Structure 1
Amino acid sequence: MKFNALFVSAALMTMTLAACSEDDPINPDNNQGGGGEEPTIETVEGNVEGTWEANTIINVSGHITVPAGKSLTIEEGVQIIFEDKGVGANHVPIEFTVDGNLYCKGTAEKPVLFSVAEEDRKKENIFAGLWGGIVASNSCGEMLIDHAIIEYTGGQVVEGSPAATNGIYTAGDDAYPQITTNNINGKYIITNSVLRNGWSDGIYLMGGQAIIANNTFAANGYDGAEAVNVKAGCVADVAGNIMFSPNTNGLKLSSSGQSETRGMAKIQAYNNTIINAGWRRDGEKGGCVYAEKNALANVFNNLMVNCKFRAMTPSFKKPNDPEEGYNSESVIDYNFYASGSQKSDIVYEEESGVAYAWAGYNYEHKNYNTGVVDAHSVIATENDLKNPQFENFDVNGVALTEYAYEEGWDFHVKSGSPVLTGAYSGTDANLTPYFSSNGLSVNGVTYNSPAVKAQYGAFGVK
């Protein structure tokens, strides 16, 4: 499989929460110094807490941990640079473990950067997994990731990895997502950020209440994985995100691991734009949204562009079966599936043989819950591709297996775009975001999920 480089400097136009303006850009440029002054440089390993002050460069030489009961605040413009040689004889990828609380407070002009040395930010390292990722353990009570860039993660979990020692991941079987959560009582705000260049998932939620909004995901997953992967023990609003070329799905929503203590996964996923999902995955698994194992997943007003398949719900013949089935109370509908005219350069003739997005949307897939899922959705056909009319993205020109996010792309739509009409515009209580009214309080600040917009996708007209 041929991969292209991902040089995502992307001046991304994002919707924001709270006091931020609607068109507040995320600026992923790494020029984060303050006023021409030389930044302070520190080298750290082991336990960390307190405050990393604005515009500091933090060189991480070994595993770091925010201890239980302690907090670390990272101010705007801080660069956290992880060594890529690993720790010890096994070269264990460096992990950032959060047993306490983490408050990452970047700004649009000065985002916080989690990365590797500048000379290592290159094509051949896109999926190299140069460091472990941020792991919020089952004692992490709060985490705020706002206006941050997290990249070059996905190191393999091996013997000696903190996540293996702590029983979160399995040595030899797992790779680190960019962000992991594991506390069913935790509160997590992940907003206005860029999560890119990772071997594994962008965000892997195994527990907690979460708002995941207005982020950009790109190049998530080398041979599997999703942009956002949710398991049992989670209640989450996922809204206003751009998910470009996830290996398998933009959204994998599962109640896997459900028990008396780890409750059913509950997700409201709305107004997201998912592009080029599923084409880089071996075989036919995935393609934009995958809901399974009795997750209560409401997925609506999303815009899927050039994805391999429509939303899937395996074993819908066994509704509400926590081992397999589709939750019959879920609403996966009022989505917009747009296709370009280009053919994929990877086609599995021995399986579906799907080579075009419009063909995958209309393929008789065993996991399409026809007549229930997407009963009112807009679905492209060969003769009506449903061009969303983006301001600047060629739906007919970007290769289906491409994952290089270009700076000039603009996913606002033009006046008269078909995505501006026909979306869900009701007031059904079951489709109300979990944290839109009362919000979710982290570090004394209350954050509210974006309101549902009667449009398909993350952006309307400029």
Structure 2
Amino acid sequence: MKNLKIGFYLLMLVALASCSKKDKVVVSKPLYQVGKAVSSSAPLSGSIKGTMIANTTYTISGDVTVNAGDTLLIQQGVNIKISNGANFIVKGILLSIGTKTSPITITDPTKNKTTGASSAATDPAYVGGWGGIYCDVTCPLLVIKWTHLDFGGAGLLAPPFTGPSTGDQYIVYWQNPHGSFIMEDSWIYGSPDDAIRFYGGTVNIMRNTLEKCGGTGGDGFNAKGGTQGNMAYNLIIGGATNGTKSANDPGTQAQQTEIAMFNNTYVNGGFRNTGTYGARSGSIEVENNSRALAYNNLIVDCNFGVRIAGGNNVTAKVYLADTLSHSDGPIKKTAYGYNFYYVDNVATADQIIPTNIAQAVVTHPTNNGIPNMATFLGATYTFGFAYDGTSLVGKNNPMFANYPLPNANFATQASVDGFDFHLKSGSPAIGIGYTGFSPITQTVYGTIPVDPIFGSSGITGPGKDAGCYQSDGTGNQH
């Protein structure tokens, strides 16, 4: 019996040794954590640092501040409920790292999303619930991944530092010229004004979805003050004014705002702006001495197409975009093309190439997009002049997987709801993209960081299809 037992143990040892050599045991990698766990036992306010633990619900009842030199990490699956219009005041580092299967949610729990027709007068999305994420010049890094930012934009009661103003209603305010702001694979639902206001630094804004941004004015992504980087593969529906915008005001910095805007899908933009008609866009705006690239964008039922501002107008406060050639900066010259347009009425058809209504514009018709506006308007057309686009109405349906076109309700449909903006097989938007340029990776401020936690998940280059959803499964993952 003794010999049998010894033999059994020897066989077990051999078996274990064999497993250790041939089989790889997969052990779950622990979630990254910074400092101590943040307690969820009581509502939070005041200074905060450490880690909000995965799949935990936190409540915030007053402004929370991440001090300079400190870091707040929000792990996947965290649900943050904010009351009293409270804000994140970020002087250190904020990392909100959700995942596709376990996103983070930051919301005002007293508000509910609505579907169907939306108006600034009745929809709670445009009122503001919790405040916003306000970043000081001492914030070197803000990373937001797979995070829902719902019902933000309560008016700022008092500026927490120099830069923002009392009454500001942004979801994110960024102003460090030497820092990096990464926002990827995330959602913004509702804002009274600009969803995000940038003043300088390097940015990579990719694969996000924006719904109902701006009440009676305001943009989706509004880059100013020398901001440089990418805005790509975003779905922007029902914005009050521009979906993406570059401008160089206040113009006191040495560097210009330079933004590569490519492979975005813009739907129903520009119909809640109560400002001067023709002084702003409904999809893409390049103004105030900034430079931009605007390629491979899918623009459906938007008030205006790609708009390159071309004149000074004191009332509108919109000034000439930079269309000259340069040797400095990541964008040597403003350029655009290979964009796809669909429109459902004559007024929007007449603004596929924006015309001089409130002020001069310098958007040239191109012969490489759909429709071919250079051919349609002819060799004698002078940019900025009015034209008759009646014959373009209802043409070139992009064939969304699930969204009705034509759509008589385009001006009030401002949310994704149950629709699907992927392209069906056979869509004329497939394969028209221009891939002969590179995204911005290096700016005058430095290199856009790439890291699973402390940077971009990967700076995606241009896609071969128009819009944010690519037929090969890449691009926007929502």
Task: State the TM-score, normalizing by the size of structure 2.
Answer: 0.75
Task: State the TM-score, normalizing by the size of structure 1.
Answer: 0.78
1:187 to partner: Cα distance: 1.0
**C-alpha separation between the residues in 2 aligned to 1:56 and 1:213?**
27
Quick check: 1:196 aligned with 2:189? yes
The size of the alignment, in residue pairs, is 388
- Paired-residue identity, %: 24
Sort the Cα spacing of 1:311 and 1:46 in 2 relative to 1 into closer, same or farther, 3 A: same
Q: CA RMSD in A?
A: 2.6
SS in 2 for 1:126: helix
Sort the Cα spacing of 1:460 and 1:293 in 2 relative to 1 into closer, same or farther, 3 A: same
Given candidates 208, 212, 216, the residue that maps to 1:219 is: 212
Sort the Cα spacing of 1:182 and 1:42 in 2 relative to 1 into closer, same or farther, 3 A: same
Quick check: 1:101 aligned with 2:75? no
Within a 5 Å distance, the mapping from 1:424-443 to structure 2 comes to: 424-426=434-436, 431-435=437-441, 440-441=449-450, 443=453
- Deviations along 1:353-410, one digit per CA (max 9) or x if unpaired, are xx64223326633544243x64543248433422111111113126122244244211
Sort the Cα spacing of 1:323 and 1:400 in 2 relative to 1 into closer, same or farther, 3 A: closer
**C-alpha separation between the residues in 2 aligned to 1:367 and 1:414?**
38
Q: Which residue in the other structure is 1:315 paired with?
A: 310
Given candidates 331, 336, 348, the residue that maps to 2:335 is: 331
SS in 1 for 2:350: helix
- Indicate conservation of the 8 Å contact 1:435/1:448, yes or no: no
Sort the Cα spacing of 1:445 and 1:125 in 2 relative to 1 into closer, same or farther, 3 A: closer
1:121 to partner: Cα distance: 5.5
Q: Which residue in the other structure is 2:162 paired with?
A: 167
Q: Which residue in the other structure is 2:352 paired with?
A: 361
**C-alpha separation between the residues in 2 aligned to 1:330 and 1:453?**
19
Quick check: 1:154 aligned with 2:153? yes
Structure 1: tracts of 5 or more residues without a match: 1-38, 87-92, 342-354
- Indicate conservation of the 8 Å contact 1:313/1:367, yes or no: no
1:435 to partner: Cα distance: 2.3
Q: Which residue in the other structure is 1:280 paired with?
A: 272
- Indicate conservation of the 8 Å contact 1:436/1:451, yes or no: no
Within a 5 Å distance, the mapping from 1:22-421 to structure 2 comes to: 41-83=41-83, 86=84, 93-118=85-110, 124-158=123-157, 161=158, 164-171=159-166, 174-261=167-254, 263-282=255-274, 283-284=276-277, 285-315=280-310, 324-328=319-323, 329-341=333-345, 356-361=347-352, 364-365=355-356, 366-371=359-364, 374=366, 376-379=368-371, 381-384=389-392, 385-397=395-407, 399-421=409-431
Q: Which has the larger radius of gyration?
A: 2
- Indicate conservation of the 8 Å contact 2:291/2:334, yes or no: yes
**Larger strand fraction of residues:** 1
- Indicate conservation of the 8 Å contact 1:175/1:199, yes or no: no
1:169 to partner: Cα distance: 1.9
- Indicate conservation of the 8 Å contact 2:448/2:455, yes or no: no
**C-alpha separation between the residues in 2 aligned to 1:250 and 1:104?**
23
SS in 2 for 1:195: strand
**C-alpha separation between the residues in 1 aligned to 2:198 and 2:455?**
22
Structure 2: tracts of 5 or more residues without a match: 1-38, 115-121, 324-332, 374-388, 474-478
Sort the Cα spacing of 1:445 and 1:234 in 2 relative to 1 into closer, same or farther, 3 A: closer
- Indicate conservation of the 8 Å contact 2:143/2:455, yes or no: no
1:423 to partner: Cα distance: 2.7
**C-alpha separation between the residues in 2 aligned to 1:446 and 1:323?**
32
- Deviations along 1:121-179, one digit per CA (max 9) or x if unpaired, are 66752212122111111111111100000011121233xx2xx24122222xx432111
Which AA in structure 1 matches 2:370?
V
Sort the Cα spacing of 1:424 and 1:436 in 2 relative to 1 into closer, same or farther, 3 A: farther
**C-alpha separation between the residues in 1 aligned to 2:311 and 2:334?**
11
**C-alpha separation between the residues in 1 aligned to 2:101 and 2:41?**
20
SS in 2 for 1:383: helix
